[in-house]
């Protein structure tokens, strides 16, 4: 029932868009292609007579000829039929001109005493075969129709492009779940080997995070404060594992509750800090996180101690899934609106991410 309602709403919107388009064409042709210097009202009446021809031409071309022949690669048939329409439709336009439009305008001109309008001079065949008038009919009919076709196919391209972006984003987002789950289950496995009493807390915390990922992240944007709360839940799970051998600081500044962000963008950075910093380091480890909102700009800085083995080697070992995933998502969602800097120092690994949250690509 919901799908049927949405379909009905979409059809109604589509119908209104088509009506708006043809009303625009009607007014545009009345001002641009109006006959001589007639009043606007007369031009509107005249072009209303020609509007059905443009509509017939457009819908036949866009919904029958192009899909049935061009899109199915029947190029010869397409060009033959197209050439036929290019010739025939202006002929129909000229016929309507001669029998309806021009007599209507001539009647108006005669009411003001003007009886020598050149377009009604001669026989009907002379007027029909006038090359200049016929070329003008070809130009007028084809310009309007192909303009409409261009809009239709640009819209179709844009929709496919958006669908492709959405599919890629969903794939990238889906990769986060197993990656995160794999790391957290490893932590849980380590605790259960030692019969740690914290294991139930880990399971409960994991279920809360997965609930957020599965049921609250299926949208373009989420409240920044909620996404940060998920990070804090993740940090709690990790701190249970490392206990006193981890020095951890997380500072937040700014009005987080006033902003929204694409979900799960920050998680890979926090995951990497624990995995490649605290997780691989023998002895004392440290992680510092700063999250600052300055107007619409989010600044997220995270740095961690480095293990004895170079961090680059560690990242190559597991494919660096998190960071590569993050880079792709940032490029898709916040193109030209983010900065991602990575610093691999001798004793520290740091990442600084800046995002203008007001400049996202809506998908």
List of domains in the chain: 2-129 (no CATH), 160-356 (3.30.565.10)
- Cβ atoms of 322 and 268 within 8 Å: the answer is yes
Report how far residue 115's alpha carbon sits from residue 99's, in angstroms, rounded to the nearest whole number.
18
pLDDT for 198: 67
pLDDT for 362: 56
Average pLDDT, the chain: 77
Report how far residue 22's alpha carbon sits from residue 26's, in angstroms, rounded to the nearest whole number.
6
pLDDT band at 300 (very low <50, low <70, confident <90, very high): very high
Q: How far out from the chain centre does Cα 322 lie? A: 24
Mean pLDDT of 311-333: 66
Element (DSSP H or E) covering residue 352: strand 348-356
Q: Is the pLDDT of residue 323 over 90?
A: no
Q: Is the pLDDT of residue 3 over 50?
A: no
As given in the structure block, the two tokens for residue 168 are 């890629």
Predicted structure pTM score: 0.54
- Token pair 């990070």: residue: 231
Report how far residue 101's alpha carbon sits from residue 67's, in angstroms, rounded to the nearest whole number.
33
Residue with the bigger pLDDT between 361 and 220: it is 220
Q: How far out from the chain centre does Cα 128 lie? A: 48
- Cβ atoms of 206 and 184 within 8 Å: the answer is yes
Burial 14-36 (b: 16+ CB within 10 A, else e): eeeeeeebbeebbeebbeebbbe
Q: Is the pLDDT of residue 52 over 80?
A: yes
Report how far residue 154's alpha carbon sits from residue 171's, in angstroms, rounded to the nearest whole number.
26
Helices (H), the chain: 2-32, 40-60, 75-96, 102-110, 124-128, 131-193, 199-215, 224-242, 267-273, 311-318, 321-333
Task: Say which residues have a Cβ less than 8 Å from residue 18's Cβ, sequence separation at least 6.
Answer: none
pLDDT band at 290 (very low <50, low <70, confident <90, very high): very high
Q: What is the pLDDT of residues 91-122, one digit of tens each?
A: 888 888 888 877 777 777 777 666 777 777 77
- Cβ atoms of 278 and 285 within 8 Å: the answer is yes
As given in the structure block, the two tokens for residue 39 are 């009043």
Mean pLDDT of 122-130: 79
């Amino acid at each position: 029932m919901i799908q049927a309602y949405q379909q009905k709403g979409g059809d109604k919107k589509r119908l209104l868009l088509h009506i708006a388009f043809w009303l625009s064409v009607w007014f545009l042709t009345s001002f641009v292609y109006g006959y001589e210097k007639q009043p606007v009202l007369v031009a509107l009446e005249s072009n209303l007579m020609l509007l059905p021809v443009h509509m017939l031409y457009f819908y036949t071309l866009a919904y029958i000829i192009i899909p049935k022949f061009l899109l199915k690669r029947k190029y010869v048939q397409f060009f033959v039929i197209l050439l036929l329409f290019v010739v025939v439709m202006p002929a129909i336009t000229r016929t309507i001109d001669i029998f309806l439009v021009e007599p209507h305008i001539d009647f108006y001109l005669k009411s003001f005493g003007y009886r020598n309008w050149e377009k009604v001079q001669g026989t009907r065949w002379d007027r029909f075969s006038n090359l200049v008038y016929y070329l003008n009919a070809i130009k007028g009919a084809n310009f309007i129709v192909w303009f409409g076709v261009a809009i239709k196919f640009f819209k179709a391209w844009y929709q496919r492009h958006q669908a492709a972006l959405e599919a890629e984003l969903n794939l990238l987002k889906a990769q986060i779940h197993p990656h995160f789950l794999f790391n957290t289950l490893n932590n849980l496995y380590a605790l259960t080997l030692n019969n740690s009493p914290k294991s139930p807390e880990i399971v409960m915390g994991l279920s809360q995070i997965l609930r957020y990922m599965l049921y609250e992240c299926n949208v373009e944007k989420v409240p920044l404060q909620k996404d940060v709360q998920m990070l804090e839940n993740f940090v709690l799970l990790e701190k249970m594992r490392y206990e006193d051998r981890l020095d951890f600081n997380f500072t937040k500044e700014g009005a987080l509750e006033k902003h929204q962000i694409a979900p799960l963008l920050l998680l890979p950075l926090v995951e990497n800090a624990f995995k490649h910093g605290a997780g691989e380091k023998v002895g004392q480890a440290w992680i510092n996180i700063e999250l600052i909102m300055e107007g619409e700009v989010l600044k997220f800085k995270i740095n961690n101690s480095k293990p004895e083995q170079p961090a680059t080697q560690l990242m190559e070992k597991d494919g660096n899934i998190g960071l590569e995933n993050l880079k792709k998502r940032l490029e898709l969602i916040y193109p030209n609106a983010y900065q991602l800097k990575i610093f691999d120092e001798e004793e520290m690994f740091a990442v600084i991410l800046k995002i203008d949250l007001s400049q996202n690509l809506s998908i």
